[in-house]
Amino acid sequence: MSRLASGVVLVTAQEPPLDPDDPGAPRGEDVGMTATAFMSVSLDPPLVLIGLREGSRMDDLLDEQPVWAVSVLSGSQRHIAGRFAMKGRVSDRLLFADVPHRRGEVSGAPLVGGALATLECRTEQRVPAGDHTLVIGRVLTATAPNTDDGPLTYFRGRYRHLD
């Protein structure tokens, strides 16, 4: 599979607040994960799929958080992919600090500025598959900002910039 070239996305979601019944409670932490196992599934209704390693932080989070977001990274965003693929990091708060982003109107999740496209999704189905969970989401919002930048790709274990 390392010979299948793929685009690279950042999946993001917000941890639920510690006390969901208290509107003044601090927001949950933003979490991000670099992924290549992302694909389009259906046009009508609009469905996409993300494959998450079972037991990863994002898999655990999306088990309880039904809304999430995807930013399709551009060739100049390799550093973002790198930092959100690190294992065992303690907190994502600092990692987002210098990544320009806005909050999705539906998910509240970070949408990366300068991304080639952004989507917000609501989970429709979770399918356990071996050591991964396939999360199928309905697309709730989509943007494709005007940019000339090419995609960030991953091939044979290396990030590549498609010119």
Residues forming the site for ligand FMN (CB under 6 A): 8, 33-37, 51-53, 56-57, 84-85, 87-88, 154
**Residue 123 Cβ, how far from ligand FMN at the closest point, in Å?**
15
Rounded to the nearest 5 percent, the helix, strand and coil shares of the chain are 15, 45, 40
| Residue nearest to ligand FMN according to CB distances in the complex | 37
**Residue 119 Cβ, how far from ligand FMN at the closest point, in Å?**
15
DSSP output for 44-87? TTTEEEEEEETTSHHHHHHHH--EEEEEE-BGGGHHHHHHTT-T
**Residue 6 Cβ, how far from ligand FMN at the closest point, in Å?**
8
Q: Which amino acid is at 78?
A: R
Distance CA 19, CA 72 (A): 32
User: Between residues 25 and 162, which has the closer beta carbon with respect to ligand FMN?
Assistant: 162
User: Between residues 7 and 108, which has the closer beta carbon with respect to ligand FMN?
Assistant: 7
Phi, psi of 69 (to 5 degrees): -140, 160
Distance of CA 133 to the CA centre of its chain: 14
User: Between residues 37 and 41, which has the closer beta carbon with respect to ligand FMN?
Assistant: 37
**Residue 100 Cβ, how far from ligand FMN at the closest point, in Å?**
20
User: Between residues 44 and 64, which has the closer beta carbon with respect to ligand FMN?
Assistant: 64
Residue 111's CB is within 10 A of a number of other CB atoms, namely: 24
